A and B are shown apart, each in its own frame.
Chain A
Amino acid sequence: MQVKVNEQNYTVDTNESVGSVRDRIKADADLLIVNGFPAQAETLLNNGDQVVLIRRGEIPGADELDALLTARHTPGVHEVVKQSTIGIAGVGGLGSAIAIALARTGIGHLIIADFDVVEPSNLNRQQYFIDQIGLPKVYALRDTLARINPHVRVTACHLRLTPANIDEVFGHALILAEAFDLAEQKVMLIETFAARFPDRPIVTGSGMAGYGPANTVQSQQVASNLYICGDGSTAAAPGTGLMAPRVGVAAHHQANAILRLLLGENPVSEKE
């Protein structure tokens, strides 16, 4: 009969125990999971069971993680995303969440750029930890991404992005995520990148402050290579602060738009 062990198909004997399968496939595993629940070694397997064999504390190798993502994301998808390079300009509330979503998706190479350091006030929405206060955000984020998937290559640029360095920093990025805070900086980045790389998509965020309905945050295409995620109007202002839920919604709109672009799909609708 057929079972899945760590996302791979295996033929096992009828009524073979999970402990016997463990001994054959991963003898040092000390945690056995069958169909989502911890199991004893003597538990008998049934056709179609999903088995996960874990050695606690062991970090899976690049090949093993690759196989897991291939199985989860279907082979065609994983092949595309793992060969992709994505740029993220600014790693505050939007950029840090975009980077984490893309790293979990298995993007091969992320270029992250920001001049800022982690401040206590950032922790209300940005993907940093209290023990990272004072660190440059790009280095703190690189550490976090390595804890999620050490096989994602991260180029961390601790610098202020200007019209003079944007083309160099993001020269290898197929798609650029704009994740700045100030409107003027968003405009500067979009103009500079679009002028230098007119054929490469930019996915930008505008309007995600406050706690208005999440459903007003949308993805829109506004030019041949420019996509905007947000409600388009709610600026960060006194009384309308930036908060984790809505900033997260906008960031994940951006991450999903990027994934759809990589896979040749229209980011804003099912049909072209």
Chain B
Amino acid sequence: MEIIFNGKPRELQQSINIQEFLDQLQLDCLQIVVEHNRNIISRQRLTDTILSHGDTLEVIHFVGGG
């Protein structure tokens, strides 16, 4: 199946949840906001949200300073 990750198509071999997907990319979850189908998703829900064909996933990195 295919999802759109940060604006680009990406093939997934198997059905996985968002946390597993982020783990594969070795992303530091503390400095990112994750959007699933344009909605912000809290980290508690990353493991129980399974990615489906056609989903969009955006990862926004935040940097310090303010």
Contacts and interface: CB of A to CB of B under 8 A. Distances in A.
A139 interface: no
B58 interface: yes
A242 B30 CA distance: 22
A222 B65 contact: no
B33 interface: yes
Contacts of A192: 42
B39 A223 contact: yes
Q: How big is the A interface, by class?
A: 35 or more
A90 B66 contact: yes
A187 B65 contact: no
A94 B66 contact: yes
A92 B63 contact: no
Given A191-B40, A223-B58, A224-B39, A207 B63 contact: yes
The SS class assigned to the B binding surface is mixed
A207 B64 CA distance: 7
Interface residues of B, number: 18
A183 interface: yes
Contacts of A208: 65-66
A184 B31 contact: yes
Interface string B37-66: 011101100000000000000101111111
Contacts of A181: 64-66
B7 to A, nearest CB: 11
A242 B66 CA distance: 8
B35 interface: yes
Contacts of B42: 191-192, 194-195
B65 A207 contact: yes
B32 interface: yes
Given A224-B38, A228-B60, A191 B66 contact: no
B63 A232 contact: yes
17 contacts: A90-B66, A92-B66, A95-B66, A183-B31, A184-B30, A198-B39, A205-B65, A208-B66, A209-B63, A225-B40, A228-B60, A230-B63, A234-B63, A235-B65, A236-B64, A242-B65, A247-B66
Interface of A: 90, 92-95, 179-184, 186-187, 190-192, 194-195, 198, 204-209, 222-226, 228, 230, 232-236, 242, 247
Given A207-B63, A226-B35, 20 more contacts: A94-B66, A180-B66, A181-B66, A183-B30, A183-B31, A192-B42, A206-B61, A208-B66, A222-B35, A223-B38, A223-B39, A223-B60, A224-B39, A228-B60, A230-B63, A232-B61, A235-B64, A236-B64, A236-B65, A247-B66
